Structure 1
């Protein structure tokens, strides 16, 4: 029986902003491209564009043969999980699009598979061509698209399995795609004592990161391409990270999100778990929306766990609404209690409590003035929370929305670094870091302080 593969993608330059989609229908047996579809759709979000690409691809496949089974492959985890029925569709703008897609074929005739973004270059190229055409005040033209593709130098070496629409033209398509909008490199971290003082224990040291390093970090933050083997259900199995044996299985991957700015953040005031528990500022709410958009584009997060404090719950809620996920609260992820230092700047603490501050900087067992929590006690609490979550989410990707001290502690413990390393890490508001935990007890730090999603 004839079988089709539909690869689809969509993008928005602004989210919402000028948007377009691309779809390709492929003969599953030969890998031949049968149909290309693309369209500039005006101002829309990434998710709307992705669903529009899915609709176009399904309709094109049905026009070819309404009885043929269809395998949909997309790099949008959100669309794949929602259309597979594993994630709820909460956004009112997504429900009619999903219902329309589900009604094109009878139940069971279409299956959905997530693929890494680098395996979806063909549809990505078409979506970018459609957005480029819209910028010129035009609609996408299939003839112009093929002319541009044919004019580009082509590597004839197959670069993937049959049906991935990349064999024989991978380099040309990659050059034409030019990457998605909104992936500007993050600024280099600044040295010194920066950020919310309570949420940033950086006293010395300067961290800088090259553009190449940032691109590598973003790649590491996404699931690795699946190995050739597949499960009995036909779904590709995730591969493990570098340095781990495949028989260990996929790691529990923690995507660590520091909450957005609060009114205390620009003033660099201690803001732990023993103070007034401020909510996000207007800047912090915008940061939460930006990180939600970035995580939706990456499409890797399967669960969300948050600290119980207001600023983390508000940040988590913004992401959860975008991804269609529930938020679980874990008290173990709360920030350190800074005692009498809550609400003060570092300079004010040094002026009022110089001996206590010096002891705190030198000894992880030392507590902030007034019975606050020591870094040693925080580490015990964070390690217990870590172990519980690793056991609960083995092989899954979990977003932990928390604070600077918990994130730095998780990174420190993963590296086996000494306690004083807490003072030598920069962690910006709404930044992302990633740590993976393997079945043999090993851990791998994959990303630290990525703020590229806050640019542009």
Structure 2
């Protein structure tokens, strides 16, 4: 049975300000760097066989904290990047609501946003493809840790599991430096073993953007 850990990056100043990051390359802040270290001290106990990360700094630097403890080199995959939010990137959510009210209303309702925002279908497919290839890095029965982003993680695992958008909306957003555990075997395919696992469970949840 292969185990896949899908790990959201640590906190950034844009998370703290409720600002849409998308594929803007925002770095971890001091809290995020500490979160990465604390989470890595838990994840290292899972004895990962491989670590793969989005190439955006907030994810790759999060992965580096685990790499430092395991001695594993980190693979990078652009398919694991966050959703492309187009003109929303850099705006706070109140600013999005003011400047793009129709798009914001569709986003709030869980619908496709339109405009230059990446579709949920495209996001789910590209991230799931990256997750499958990452999982293949482990030997049979091994464990792979993937450092990625909030919206990317949720949509990617949903695509792997074959869940409709409506079912995915029942999952709370991943907290910074929390993760999802998936397992796969030949008989049952992909299964969700755990969700939103990690330290800092009492902290507010920044939106997965």
SS at match of 2:16: coil
Contact 1:414–1:445, Cα closer than 8 Å, also in 2? no
1:330 alignment counterpart: 77
Q: Structure 2 length normalisation: TM-score?
A: 0.86
Contact 1:259–1:288, Cα closer than 8 Å, also in 2? yes
Give me the CA root mean square deviation: 2.1
1:234 alignment counterpart: none
Question: What are the Cα deviations for residues 373-408 of structure 1, in whole angstroms up to 9, with x where unaligned?
Answer: 111110121222233233443522000000011211
2:157 alignment counterpart: 411
- In 1, the alpha carbon distance for the partners of 2:194 and 2:46 equals 17
- In 2, the alpha carbon distance for the partners of 1:418 and 1:314 equals 32
Question: What are the Cα deviations for residues 91-127 of structure 1, in whole angstroms up to 9, with x where unaligned?
Answer: xxxxxxxxxxxxxxxxxxxxxxxxxxxxxxxxxxxxx
Q: Are 1:387 and 2:132 matched, yes or no?
A: yes
Displacement of 1:414 after TM fit? Answer: 4.5
Instruction: Give the paired residue count.
Output: 200
Contact 1:390–1:437, Cα closer than 8 Å, also in 2? no
- In 2, the alpha carbon distance for the partners of 1:301 and 1:393 equals 8
Q: Structure 1 length normalisation: TM-score?
A: 0.41
**Residues 440, 392 of structure 1: alpha-carbon distance in 2 compared, 3 angstrom cutoff:** farther
- In 1, the alpha carbon distance for the partners of 2:5 and 2:191 equals 12
2:207 alignment counterpart: none
- In 2, the alpha carbon distance for the partners of 1:314 and 1:454 equals 21
**Residues 388, 451 of structure 1: alpha-carbon distance in 2 compared, 3 angstrom cutoff:** closer
SS at match of 1:452: coil
- In 2, the alpha carbon distance for the partners of 1:406 and 1:440 equals 27
1:44-443 equivalences under 5 Å are 251-273=1-23, 275=24, 277-296=25-44, 298-362=45-109, 364-367=111-114, 369=115, 371-393=116-138, 395=140, 396-424=142-170, 425-440=172-187, 442-443=189-190
**Residues 453, 303 of structure 1: alpha-carbon distance in 2 compared, 3 angstrom cutoff:** farther
- In 1, the alpha carbon distance for the partners of 2:37 and 2:148 equals 16
**Residues 292, 337 of structure 1: alpha-carbon distance in 2 compared, 3 angstrom cutoff:** same
- In 1, the alpha carbon distance for the partners of 2:37 and 2:15 equals 18
Question: What are the Cα deviations for residues 256-284 of structure 1, in whole angstroms up to 9, with x where unaligned?
Answer: 111000111112211111x3x11100000
**Residues 359, 348 of structure 1: alpha-carbon distance in 2 compared, 3 angstrom cutoff:** same
In structure 2, stretches of 5+ residues that fail to align are 203-209
- In 2, the alpha carbon distance for the partners of 1:360 and 1:453 equals 27
SS at match of 2:65: helix
In structure 1, stretches of 5+ residues that fail to align are 1-250
Structure 1 stretches of 4+ with a deviation exceeding 4 A read 361-365
